Chain A
Amino acid sequence: MVPMPHYLILSALLFAIGAAGVILSRNLLIMFMSIEVMLNAANLAIITFSRFLNVMDGHVFVFLVMAIAAAEAAVGLAMIITIFRNRGTIDADKFNLMKW
């Protein structure tokens, strides 16, 4: 069996990649994909703990998180369509009408 730290390291790496994607990318779609990566990294961590500690709660948690991620993605896509119609761009740097 693959030892637990390996899964956790993978999950931490995925989380870091996702976080970096959100912070560094300027494209809204890529930012959203990065957020999905972060959520799935957390899912991987939860399922790992659930498996190695032999408690089932984690499985349920992951199911629900997946549903929530889908809801978030749906709202996010809708929002991107709206802002694309509104401004004609999805470059995050262009959305700076409000400052200070």
Chain B
Amino acid sequence: MNEYAAVLIFLFVGIGVVLFTFFLARLVRPSNPYKAKNQNYECAEPPIGSGWIQFNNRFYIFALIFVVFDVEAIFLFPWAVAFGQLGLYALIEMIIFIVILLFGLFYAWKKGVLKWV
């Protein structure tokens, strides 16, 4: 079971670092809670209503478009690491790939998806 010792140590160190920083922060910071400070942050305005509301489902649409570019990074990363060996051939391939993705964004933009209706 020695192989798992490393996993276990990693786990404990991970938890430990978080707990330690919290503890350290508690040691050094002054404690002075008052009402305005405990309020939810809402763009520096006084908050309206509870913080536990359902998000507007328009946010999902932006999330969807984000996902496209988020996952693009999966392919960009190994390409960037091995760029030296791959050369021009891969560069052109990657440009085509990104152009296709950008076309998707352009299409969404033109269709008015990015507008907050």
The reply, when asked whether chain A contacts chain B directly with Cβ atoms under 8 A, is: yes
Per DSSP, chain A at the interface is helix
28 contacts between A and B (CB under 8 A): A1-B3, A2-B3, A2-B4, A3-B3, A63-B74, A63-B75, A66-B71, A66-B74, A67-B71, A67-B74, A67-B75, A70-B67, A70-B68, A70-B71, A71-B71, A73-B67, A74-B67, A74-B68, A77-B60, A77-B63, A77-B64, A78-B60, A78-B61, A78-B64, A81-B57, A81-B61, A84-B57, A85-B57
Residues of A18-47 at the interface with B, using a CB-CB cut-off of 8 Å, are none
Contacts of B1-15 to chain A: CB distance below 8 A: 3-4, 7
In whole Å, how far is A36's beta carbon from the nearest beta carbon of chain B? 12
Residues of A within 8 A of B (CB): 1-3, 63, 66-67, 70-71, 73-74, 77-78, 81, 84-85
Contacts between chains A and B (CB distance < 8 A), count: 33
